[in-house]
Amino acid sequence: MELIRFRTLDSVGVFLCFLWLLSKVLSEQEVENLSGLSANPDKDIFVVRENGTTCLMAEFAVRFLVPYDVLALNGIDLITEQATLALPRGAEIEGKCGNTDAELYVSWMNNAYTFRIYFSKEKRTVGSDGKEKETEIWKINKVQLVYDTSESSHFINAYNPTSRASLLWSAGKRTASTHRLSALVTPAGRSYVCTAQQTLTLLSSDHQKGITISMSDIQIQPFDIKSDFVFSEPYKCMTDQREQLEETLPLVLGLILGLIIVITVTIYHFHLKLTAPQSQLPRDRSLYKNM
């Protein structure tokens, strides 16, 4: 009897272990770099999937302008040069999806460079017509760039003083981060779309140098994706809305002006008809002989 009980317990344990392993496999995240599908060679496409469903999508073209130190010709003074970086098509990505937090990491050149974007979703109270209304939004709350100035293909003749710390950490390794960022604020359940260039400034650990990140042709959604590989309803950035208004405004004004001209000409035409002198026939029929 005891032997049968132990065997039953063993079977239950094996079954529970199998379920645990199965849940781990199913909950694993998949990351895909689909940049090769873009017709724009500067545009990158990244997808993070969880449990077989897309949970984060990001498309953008990005450039990094990174200042770094170079020894002057006298071998004493330092001068500042600038390196221009871009994401290669074969970059490796990692992602994290959550209910209120999400992350996207893009690394290339054997982790010499890592671009990190942190997303958050929160509730905000906004006022409208004297009434307060709670709404949910998502945004980028932090951006980081890890780079290595000892990587000579971009940082030519960079000055990297050696130290004890460099024995464990590359002398050229730097981390640049934003401070209290609130960018790409978008209503929850929608994707952020912006063709115009968006610029962020990061402060580097290398003497607080300012690094410029320029992003354009953007479409991003880190939460609430309803269909696999499909962005939700787009939310256009203010710059695109303004440019679209500037493009359509002359056309609208032209149509209004044309309509005003047509109405004016029509009114003038009827006015001439109404005020034109009309010939009257004489009442005395004897006058017809002289006509």
Where does 165-230 show beta strands of DSSP type E? Answer: 173-177, 183-187, 191-194, 198-204, 210-221
For residue 3, what is the enclosing H or E element? helix 2-27
* pLDDT for the residue numbered 8: 42
pLDDT digits (tens, 9 = 90+) for 5-53: 434 435 545 444 444 444 444 456 799 999 988 888 899 999 999 988 9
Q: What pTM value is reported for the model? A: 0.73
pLDDT digits (tens, 9 = 90+) for 202-247: 998 766 689 999 999 999 999 999 999 999 999 999 876 654 444 4
**What end-to-end distance do the CA atoms of the chain give, in Å?**
139
For residue 24, what is the enclosing H or E element? helix 2-27
Neighbours of 79 (CB within 10 A): 10
* pLDDT for the residue numbered 68: 92
How confident is residue 163, by pLDDT bands cut at 50, 70 and 90?
low
Reduce the DSSP state of residue 151 to 3 states and report it: coil
pLDDT digits (tens, 9 = 90+) for 145-162: 999 999 999 999 998 876
Q: How far is 157 from 151, CA to CA, in rounded Å? A: 10
pLDDT digits (tens, 9 = 90+) for 102-129: 999 999 999 999 999 999 999 987 766 6
Reduce the DSSP state of residue 188 to 3 states and report it: coil
Please check whether residue 100 is in contact with residue 121, taking contact to mean a CB–CB distance below 8 angstroms. Answer: yes
Q: What is the mean pLDDT of residues 254-265?
A: 71
